[in-house]
Amino acid sequence: MCVVAAAVTGTNGAGIMLVDTDGPRASLAASNTVSARLEDLQYTLGEGPCVDAHTEGRPVMVPDLAQSPAPRWPAFTPLALDAGARAVFGFPVRIGAARLGALNIYRDRPGPLSDDQHADALVIADVTARAILAIQADAPPGTIAAELETEADFHLAVHQAAGMVSVQLDISVADALVQLRARAFGSGRLVADIATDVVNRTIRFDSL
């Protein structure tokens, strides 16, 4: 689906992220290494086109990351540029009131999407939403469908680490995830790497 999204919209790559009320939850797929990097950055930083498209329930268009006088995403923008993205576009993956996440497409040169490209991206986001719901339909209540769980990167170590940090600092799991992301950003590492250190007990947040 991501490869098709990039080809149909005439962009360089695409990624699909699952998002819930606490923020990015999993990278479902990415068409290339740059798209995967953009997904990782959004998961680590909790900001970016997928996050905003999901939260706002509408497309988010940034045709030139390098020329914005006040970057919409101060942490994400310079790292996305370093990764090779010059323009990014997020489209909510949803059906009615059911918000599942977002489709992110990027281009390595500046410029807006044409009307046709925009329309094609909306169609792909809708098809993605229907595919996810169809896969999830047969899963027992409260569980993730096996196919989704196999294909998606749910960052299980991050959620385990967030639980450990919540106990160490006596805060909610959501706040613990914020602490993990802040630590990752401050150290220039991915949140998954910090989480692994927490799970392996190399880092304790109550002793920082």
Which has the closest alpha carbon to 155: 47, 39, 52?
A: 39
DSSP code for 191: H
Q: What is the mean pLDDT of the chain?
A: 86
Condensed to tens digits (0 to 9), the pLDDT of residues 173-185 reads 878 888 888 888 7
List beta partners, residue 20: 23
The CATH code of the domain at 2-150 is: 3.30.450.40
Three-state DSSP class for 192?
A: helix
DSSP code for 72: S
The CA-atom distances, in angstroms, between 3 and each of 7, 103, 148 are 6, 12, 18
Given a contact cutoff of 8 angstroms between Cβ atoms, the answer to whether 173 and 163 are in contact is yes
Separation of alpha carbons 163 and 29, rounded Å:
26
Where along the chain do its domains lie?
2-150, 156-207
Condensed to tens digits (0 to 9), the pLDDT of residues 141-160 reads 766 666 665 555 556 677 78
Q: Alpha helix (H) ranges present in 57-114?
A: 76-83
